[in-house]
């Protein structure tokens, strides 16, 4: 039985009536850009993230770009981040004219190492972008302590609704950062039926600026305080996302249950390291990512047997050709480089049946002769 890496049709089948009704409301209103449904979603995401403000935008990449512009990151500035992430995290640093500074990751969680971020700080450092990778938060309070006074943009594209216990209190992804950013790309735990993104903040001034920046830099139509972007969330996406949001907690819980099932089954297999979740974190498992001996062979073995899988990410960003101008050499971020050679993500989506989970496990076991 083939098992896809992700099956969006299986999820759609469970919510079709709610989502189609929400979409038809927008179609009938013929009001497609921003408007009351986007504002409703902004209120809902702010509430979920324990933030005062949420501002919708066109996608998670723009959310980062707008956040950097709102914090005045630009020419002559450095922005510290992790090389083990999706390209957008660093591409946006480059695109605001700043210099990405890559520091290594914690090999257990794949998230940025706070002490490495602290060591990379210079007089030109303007911000740090920790990424909440694969569904678990980076140690945001440690990053903030390691970089006192520095604005933090938390790239929570993969991690909406994840939380971390800090001093005995649950803190949500996006809550503590200067600006937190989300993506509603369809493969995310809360995915739209197209592109979408959101920025969250506790700061009224930043919220107002982010709102201006997503509309060509003007608070009032045809008057522009600064040059911004066209990066609006459309009402159809907001309607879909608001219809899906009440299901998010249950979907993420099912992903955690799937992860626990895999990790138990893989525990005894030499050659596999199951994901490590920091005990302070509750992950939403946007990905279930193992480290595997003979990873490339395992990948083709699974592929040949119809088991979906993917390598997130095969080449760390500090070694990408487009960043050759920065001068990083192999060995500069050894843990990110090792992870790139060992990781493999397996199907984890909430609609997986027990039979499908067992099918994945059986083939992984077979590869290691168990």
Ligand X SMILES: Cc1ncc(COP(=O)(O)O)c(C=O)c1O
Among positions 182-241, residues that touch ligand X (CB under 6 A) are 183, 185, 195, 197
CB neighbours of 194 closer than 8 A, spacing ≥ 6? 186, 234, 236, 237
Among positions 129-148, residues that touch ligand X (CB under 6 A) are 131
CB neighbours of 112 closer than 8 A, spacing ≥ 6? 81, 82, 103, 105, 106, 128, 130, 131, 138, 143
Nearer to ligand X, 173 or 272 (CB): 173
Burial pattern 93-129, b for ≥16 Cβ within 10 A else e, equals: beebebbbbbbbbbbebbbbbbebbbebbeeebbbbb
Burial pattern 319-344, b for ≥16 Cβ within 10 A else e, equals: bbeebeebebeeebbebbbbbbebbb
Among positions 83-122, residues that touch ligand X (CB under 6 A) are 85-86, 88-89
CA distances from 254 to 177, 231, 236, 258 (A): 27, 33, 27, 6
Nearer to ligand X, 139 or 197 (CB): 197
- Residue span binding ligand X (CB under 6 A) among the ranges 55-63, 268-276, 296-304, 346-354: 55-63
Asked if 154 touches ligand X (CB under 6 A), the answer is no
Q: Which residue is nearest to ligand X (CB)?
A: 60
- Residue span binding ligand X (CB under 6 A) among the ranges 153-161, 200-208, 263-271, 277-285: 153-161
Asked if 258 touches ligand X (CB under 6 A), the answer is no
Phi (first) and psi of residue 8, to 5 degrees: -70, -30
Question: Longest Cα pair distance anywhere in the chain, in angstroms?
Answer: 67
Smallest gap from Cβ 348 to ligand X, in A, equals: 15
Smallest gap from Cβ 355 to ligand X, in A, equals: 29
Smallest gap from Cβ 312 to ligand X, in A, equals: 8
Nearer to ligand X, 289 or 356 (CB): 289
Nearer to ligand X, 85 or 309 (CB): 85
Contacts with ligand X by CB under 6 A lie at 59-61, 85-86, 88-89, 131, 155, 157-158, 183, 185, 195, 197
């Amino acid at each position: 039985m083939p098992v896809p890496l992700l099956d969006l049709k299986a999820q759609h089948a469970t919510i079709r009536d709610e989502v189609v009704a929400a979409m038809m409301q927008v179609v009938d209103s013929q009001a497609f850009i921003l408007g009351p449904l986007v504002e409703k979603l902004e209120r809902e995401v702010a509430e979920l993230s324990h933030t005062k403000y949420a501002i919708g935008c066109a996608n998670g990449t723009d959310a980062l770009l707008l956040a950097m512009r709102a914090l005045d990151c630009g020419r002559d500035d450095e922005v510290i981040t992790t090389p083990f992430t999706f390209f957008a995290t660093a591409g946006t640093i480059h695109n605001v004219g700043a210099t990405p500074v890559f520091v290594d990751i914690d090999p257990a969680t794949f998230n940025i190492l706070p002490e490495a971020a602290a060591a990379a700080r210079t007089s030109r450092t303007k911000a740090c972008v920790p990424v909440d990778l694969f569904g678990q938060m980076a140690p945001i309070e440690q990053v903030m302590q390691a970089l006192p006074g520095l604005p933090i943009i938390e790239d929570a594209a993969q991690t909406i609704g994840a939380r971390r216990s800090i001093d005995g209190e649950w803190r949500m992804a996006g809550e503590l950062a200067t600006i937190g950013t989300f993506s509603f790309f369809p493969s995310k735990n809360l995915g739209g039926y197209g592109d979408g993104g959101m920025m969250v903040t506790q700061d009224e001034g930043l919220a107002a600026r982010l709102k201006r920046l997503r509309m060509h830099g003007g608070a009032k139509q045809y008057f522009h305080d600064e040059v911004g972007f066209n990066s609006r969330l459309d009402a159809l996406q907001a309607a879909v996302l608001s219809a899906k949001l009440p299901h998010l907690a249950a979907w993420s819980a099912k992903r955690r249950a799937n992860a626990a099932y895999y990790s138990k089954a893989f525990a005894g297999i030499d050659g596999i390291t199951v994901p490590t979740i920091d005990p302070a974190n509750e992950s939403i498992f946007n990905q279930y990512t193992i480290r595997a001996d003979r990873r490339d062979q395992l990948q083709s073995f699974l592929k040949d047997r119809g088991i979906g899988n993917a390598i997130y990410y095969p080449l760390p960003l500090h070694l990408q050709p487009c960043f050759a101008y920065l001068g990083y050499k192999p060995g500069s971020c050894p843990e990110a480089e090792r992870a790139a050679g060992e990781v493999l993500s397996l199907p984890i989506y909430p609609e997986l049946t027990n039979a499908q989970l067992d099918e994945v496990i059986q083939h992984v076991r077979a590869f290691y002769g168990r």
